[in-house]
Structure 1
């Protein structure tokens, strides 16, 4: 049973298979066809919806999500808003009215998703008014593709929403909606056995999760589902035995310690952005190029690590920062350095009945520098061809604690120990970096795929090291020399 609110009305859906997406639930089971399927992989944003969940104060906070890759069962105890639920009779919501006024729609297929992203932005502005900077607009709309408009009228619509009457949906008049959703969330319990169709279980605590993994070691864990769900939408595989970890309390905490932070495996990227901004600006900047807001609202750091993709964006940064990972399971807890977690392509140190409990992010050392550079075909919402994360200190003119980590250069994300040794204890000279680049060529044999050839990746990785040298030299000379014209390379 999926028990939730849809555009202000309570809905209960039974006999839904575990691998049903929100999009399929809406279009096939509920007859709500305003939400469109475009790519079925979380890239285009045509299926964008807004999911409201109670915050600490009991108020509903809305976040955009890709309906095509979000499990329908994760709607339990939530308020789902779709494009059908925005207008008030014939009176349009400001997001809709602005799109009409600015001619932001042409063929119209992507329009419902864009409108829902604007609705979510409008709700956030209602909660916490702030200037709509270019950065915020890109964050709000970067996950919505449109082949017709060139985006300028959509941007204009975002900037002019407040110029239109603040027409709100009829469901927004219900003073008890937030309370009802919160009460539903407290009482919602996912039925472990769904007839003969499979399992979808959503434990609430660590002890229950351990027992589930003991009983069902082959069950797939799902948090944001931003990668796992592609197995059903792209490969047509059945996902009929799932354990949803989004509600596990212990996996949703960020615990500060004297030497760093333990980040629960179910903590989303959106929740991590303030921490990154305060302590790891380069990591925070990467988030602007990490997928889209729809993905960041659902995806988790633990999922990106567990996925063990050689082109995952966050593992190289974590490796450069000497992160550690805490594993858990029926046999108990254990901890290991992240560079011992990745074994081979899509293979990790996890036992069959284990899961990632948390990731430890060390507090930056005094004088530590971090630079993260991502190369991809598209500037926004794209997968890396090569990602480099460099951490180091300068002490008496010499480089210390040098960590060079790469994605896209091997079957796993990993550091470059030979190149690190070439720079450790050396001044950042041309000769030192040439030695590091030679070492880099010897220790990586990257693959060729649709995102780049092996030779391209080798050259690009060496050029990123050269960029680092030029940046350090420019900083030491106190000049404003540009290292690159790429506005996203900081």
Structure 2
């Protein structure tokens, strides 16, 4: 709540306060007194938080490296490069080292799996990798950009992606976890990759002084295997600005709404011409295969056809051939297959026909009720 109080967007709005509290599980009194106290603090603008801020900043300054450094101990080594050139050089000299950005995933390897990581290279001090900028055509997200920093920029061009990102972990996790780190670990249930596959994003990979570009869907080869050469790392993600007529929807399915790993995530990006014929379609799913994956057969069943119920039924059948999902603790194979087809129907309902509200409003207007 101190961090929220100090943020430019802080307000007494209860929903906003609840969002800021997400990730903190209170097991004693509940949240009501905390929310009430926060409203009071924001309304009165107490200077207590201000008095603490400089002390915290002064302490942090002593821990922030100004140049590259290496910390060694009997348990292992941590390298902290200050530039991307130093990062590339250190990684070439130590190809078996573990790269971390926010360490929201790798940290669990240590605390939960009890893995030993002899050499860690952290990119947290590489300022150039924290670049977040956009042009008329694209959005560039450096490998060190956190989800919190990227959220607004991504949501501006892909609103549904922004809503999914709001549900990735908690505020604390999004403050540490990076967009590119979520891609780099290659998880089949990471929420970021399907969002960006559907949006035709490109990865920029670097090895030494050499860079190459790769469509993000080609990065994922098999479970635990990515198209990343030894000593190569992700430098940035580039998202092209979508066509103004693009219909983009993202649906995250999980056992609870907030802070839960997806059972599956479906993302749809489609453009139709004036006659209602589909001229562009990309469909990506997470949680349906060993990697984040496009639904190629489903896309083929839709492309070049009118976006009508007949096409929808063909697509629902085709999606059963695109994936062979597993049954696990989050859901069964049957459930994943059924929900994937149902998300197609939801996408159809939202993009091919008026919504229920629009239909009712039209009816009321016709009857002069409004």
Could you say whether these structures have the same fold, taking a TM-score greater than 0.5 normalized by the shorter chain as the test? yes
Task: Confirm or deny: 8 A CA contact 1:143 1:381 kept in the other structure.
Answer: yes
More helix as a share of residues? 2
Counting matched residue pairs gives: 360
Deviates more, 1:353-362 or 1:269-278: 269-278
Match of 1:159 among 39, 48, 51: 39
CA 129–229 in structure 1, closer or farther in 2 if over 3 Å, else same: closer
Task: Confirm or deny: 8 A CA contact 2:205 2:212 kept in the other structure.
Answer: yes
Partner deviation per Cα, 1:427-463 (whole Å, 9 max, x = no partner): 2211101101111001210011111011000000000
CA 395–386 in structure 1, closer or farther in 2 if over 3 Å, else same: same
Task: Confirm or deny: 8 A CA contact 2:85 2:209 kept in the other structure.
Answer: no
Matched with 1:391 is 269
C-alpha distance in 1, partners of 2:126/2:331?
39
Q: Secondary structure at the match of 1:305?
A: helix
How many angstroms does 1:366 deviate by?
A: 2.6
Q: Secondary structure at the match of 1:317?
A: helix
Q: Secondary structure at the match of 1:475?
A: coil
Matched with 2:2 is 119
Deviates more, 1:287-296 or 1:252-261: 252-261
Matched, 1:416 2:295: yes
C-alpha distance in 2, partners of 1:193/1:289?
35
Matched with 2:365 is none
Match of 2:151 among 269, 273, 278: 273
Match of 1:227 among 89, 94, 105: 105
Task: Confirm or deny: 8 A CA contact 1:142 1:292 kept in the other structure.
Answer: yes
Matched with 2:366 is none
Match of 2:19 among 127, 139, 149: 139
| TM-score, reference length from structure 1 | 0.69
Q: Secondary structure at the match of 1:297?
A: helix
CA 238–159 in structure 1, closer or farther in 2 if over 3 Å, else same: same
How many angstroms does 1:404 deviate by?
A: 0.7
Matched with 1:11 is none
Q: Secondary structure at the match of 2:103?
A: coil
1:456-475 to 2 correspondence within 5 Å? Answer: 456-475=335-354
Gaps of 5+ in 1: 1-117, 483-490
C-alpha distance in 2, partners of 1:382/1:155?
23
Match of 1:204 among 66, 82, 85: 82
How many angstroms does 1:370 deviate by?
A: 0.9
| TM-score, reference length from structure 2 | 0.90
Task: Confirm or deny: 8 A CA contact 2:267 2:285 kept in the other structure.
Answer: yes
Match of 1:428 among 298, 307, 310: 307
RMSD: 2.5
Task: Confirm or deny: 8 A CA contact 2:278 2:304 kept in the other structure.
Answer: yes
Matched with 1:62 is none
Partner deviation per Cα, 1:96-141 (whole Å, 9 max, x = no partner): xxxxxxxxxxxxxxxxxxxxxx1111222xxx36533344223201
C-alpha distance in 1, partners of 2:350/2:49?
52
CA 477–233 in structure 1, closer or farther in 2 if over 3 Å, else same: closer
Matched with 1:361 is 239
C-alpha distance in 1, partners of 2:75/2:60?
29
CA 481–423 in structure 1, closer or farther in 2 if over 3 Å, else same: farther
Gaps of 5+ in 2: 362-370
C-alpha distance in 2, partners of 1:314/1:438?
26
C-alpha distance in 2, partners of 1:472/1:445?
27
How many angstroms does 1:331 deviate by?
A: 6.2
Task: Confirm or deny: 8 A CA contact 1:139 1:288 kept in the other structure.
Answer: no
Task: Confirm or deny: 8 A CA contact 1:370 1:390 kept in the other structure.
Answer: yes
Match of 2:174 among 265, 287, 296: 296
Task: Confirm or deny: 8 A CA contact 2:68 2:82 kept in the other structure.
Answer: no
C-alpha distance in 1, partners of 2:181/2:301?
33
Matched with 1:61 is none
CA 177–301 in structure 1, closer or farther in 2 if over 3 Å, else same: closer
